[in-house]
């Protein structure tokens, strides 16, 4: 990485504070110096806030991404046959899509090297969900990562110490300086990790709504455009789907509960909205991976991978390779033995139909149960979660069960009950749920999917 210790970091902070731009070399010096401990937290904090307030150009954003990417190891997977394609989601309540998606795509012949993250706040993390499978390990060295990808075309692990180490340090600082939501920082953080995986193409699921990081659709569109534009500066064909996260995706929110719902999708079942998003993203990944030249054929390939059982077989192979219990996948009820449960009933004044279920409130209830984190170091209860027994548009009577809480212990139920009751709204008329697919961005154009 480029680095010049003679550069005065205070001058860079002042220039950014006054609305000026930094060069690629200056940004590289800032990032490298901070990563190795030559530049203190307080100076990088000042830079983060100055950039947040004054903005960053595309050139600065690309330079920041490049510096964070090259702060560690950048993998070369060119010796493994096939176009390697990954997917990234901006996260949301009940977003377990990666878990059925990756084996579906791998079963169709497109290698999927996936490095994922943990959950924070109301949005769950893929690693926490996978670790709820007894024995499953998300820790793997690069040699093991490469070997598993070559052997079965699928690997799902956590970020290693030598993948984009600058991102870990800078994200922690963003978290305590109020600069997390700045789009250039989000783009650099996401893409530095994804580009380091050795992928050939990337598919993005950018969410908007109550349960999403970007609640306003306009903000999600801007983020999607930025991510695609920056990713393609690095020569990686990228497409983004804009999806609705105003209500929870699927019926289950929590770590093991979402594994169970993922298994349903892999068995050709599962909630319609979860299947819709999973298959749309699978089609995009297969198209990007060169398996076909149109989305309709790609979707048919994905469906066949599920109905033939090949996708489930590939998922079980991955779980076995990474030390997980395949038996728990085949007999999920055994995993729940001893779990405490509490039914939540519709209030006495509930009208005839469920009008809406606020995803953010469901996510907060999940955190209260112990399925999510308030702080990064918080432990999670792998069995805790919320199971929605009624969905938007479904008929409901006063006093009927609408949700079920689950946890290893019952001492955290009380707050979650009030949050779930607040999340549900009712109407005398049925409101049919619409498509979760809002829009598609590729080649600089928005096109309805």
Q: Write the CATH number for 392.
A: 3.90.1170.30
Residue 236 resides in a domain:
yes
Residue 404 resides in a domain:
yes
Does 358 qualify as catalytic in the annotation?
no
Same domain (yes/no): 305, 324: yes
Active-site annotation holder among 16, 84, 87, 88: 88
Active-site annotation holder among 193, 314, 335, 440: 193
Among residues 127, 39, 208, 156, the alpha carbon closest in space to that of 376 is found at 127
Report how many domains make up the chain: 2
Active-site annotation holder among 66, 86, 128, 167: 167
Same domain (yes/no): 257, 381: no
Does 167 qualify as catalytic in the annotation?
yes
CB 441 within 8 A of CB 224: yes
For residues 287-299, average pLDDT: 97
Residue 395 resides in a domain:
yes
- Average of per-residue pLDDT values in the chain: 93
The reported pLDDT for the residue numbered 300 is: 98
Task: State the pLDDT confidence band at 21, using cuts at 50, 70 and 90.
Answer: very high
Strands 201-208 and 445-447: unpaired
Same domain (yes/no): 101, 230: yes
Total H helices, total E strands in the chain: 18, 13
Same domain (yes/no): 248, 392: no
In this predicted model, what pLDDT tens digit does every residue of 321-351 receive, in sequence order? 999 999 999 999 898 888 999 999 999 988 8
Range of the domain at 210: 85-160+179-330+437-447
Residue 311 resides in a domain:
yes
CATH number of the CATH domain containing 207: 3.40.1030.10
The reported pLDDT for the residue numbered 2 is: 67
Same domain (yes/no): 286, 404: no
Same domain (yes/no): 246, 354: no
Active-site annotation holder among 16, 118, 174, 390: 174
Residue 123 has pLDDT above 80, yes or no: no
Residue 33 has pLDDT above 80, yes or no: yes
Same domain (yes/no): 209, 341: no
Same domain (yes/no): 208, 277: yes
Task: State the pLDDT confidence band at 194, using cuts at 50, 70 and 90.
Answer: very high
Same domain (yes/no): 418, 442: no
Active-site annotation holder among 98, 116, 189, 328: 189
Does 291 qualify as catalytic in the annotation?
no
Backbone region of residue 345 per phi and psi (left: phi > 0; alpha: psi in -120 to 50; beta: other values) = beta
In this predicted model, what pLDDT tens digit does every residue of 211-221 receive, in sequence order? 998 999 999 99
d(CA 135, CA 214): 34
For residues 366-377, average pLDDT: 79
CB 441 within 8 A of CB 239: yes
Report the largest interatomic distance among the alpha carbons of the chain, rounded to a whole angstrom.
71
Residue 189 has pLDDT above 80, yes or no: yes
Same domain (yes/no): 236, 203: yes
**pTM for the predicted model, two decimal places:** 0.94
Residue 148 resides in a domain:
yes
In this predicted model, what pLDDT tens digit does every residue of 218-262 receive, in sequence order? 999 999 999 999 999 999 999 999 999 999 999 999 999 999 999
């Amino acid at each position: 990485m480029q680095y010049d210790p003679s550069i005065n970091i205070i001058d860079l902070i002042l220039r950014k504070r006054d609305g000026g731009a930094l060069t690629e070399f200056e940004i590289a010096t800032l990032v490298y110096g901070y990563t190795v401990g030559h530049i203190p937290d307080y100076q990088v904090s000042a830079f983060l806030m100055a950039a947040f307030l004054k903005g960053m150009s595309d050139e600065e954003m690309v330079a920041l991404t490049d510096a964070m990417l090259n702060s560690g190891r950048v993998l070369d997977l060119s010796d493994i046959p096939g176009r390697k394609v990954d997917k990234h989601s901006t996260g949301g309540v009940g977003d377990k899509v990666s878990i059925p998606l990756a084996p579906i795509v791998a079963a169709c012949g497109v290698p999927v090297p996936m490095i994922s993250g943990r959950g924070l706040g109301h949005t769950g993390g893929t690693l926490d969900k996978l670790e709820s499978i007894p024995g499953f390990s998300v820790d793997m060295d690069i040699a093991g990562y490469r070997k598993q990808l070559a052997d079965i075309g699928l690997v799902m692990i956590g970020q290693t110490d030598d993948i984009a180490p600058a991102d870990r340090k800078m994200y922690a600082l963003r978290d305590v300086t109020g600069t997390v939501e700045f789009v250039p920082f989000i783009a650099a953080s996401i893409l530095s990790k994804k580009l380091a995986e050795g992928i050939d193409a990337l598919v993005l699921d950018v969410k908007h709504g109550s349960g999403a990081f970007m609640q306003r659709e306009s903000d999600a569109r801007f983020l999607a455009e930025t991510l695609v534009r920056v990713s393609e500066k690095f020569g990686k064909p990228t497409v983004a789907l804009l999806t609705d996260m105003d209500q929870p995706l699927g019926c289950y929110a929590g770590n093991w509960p979402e594994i169970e719902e993922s298994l349903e999708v892999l068995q050709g079942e599962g909630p319609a909205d979860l299947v819709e998003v999973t298959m749309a993203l699978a089609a995009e990944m297969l198209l990007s991976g060169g398996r076909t030249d149109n989305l309709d054929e790609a979707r048919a390939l994905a469906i066949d991978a599920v109905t033939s059982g090949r996708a489930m077989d590939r998922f079980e192979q991955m779980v076995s390779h990474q030390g997980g219990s395949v038996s728990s996948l085949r007999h999920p009820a055994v995993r729940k033995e001893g779990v405490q449960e509490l039914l939540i009933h519709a209030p006495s004044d509930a009208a005839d139909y469920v009008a809406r279920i606020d995803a953010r409130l469901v996510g907060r209830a999940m955190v209260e149960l112990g399925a999510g984190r308030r702080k990064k170091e918080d432990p999670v209860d792998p069995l805790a979660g919320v199971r929605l027994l009624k969905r938007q548009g479904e008929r409901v009577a006063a006093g009927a069960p609408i949700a079920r809480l689950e946890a290893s212990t019952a001492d955290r139920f009380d707050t979650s009950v009030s949050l779930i009751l607040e999340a549900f709204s009712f109407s005398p008329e049925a409101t049919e749920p619409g498509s979760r697919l809002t829009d598609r961005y590729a080649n600089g154009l928005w096109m309805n999917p």
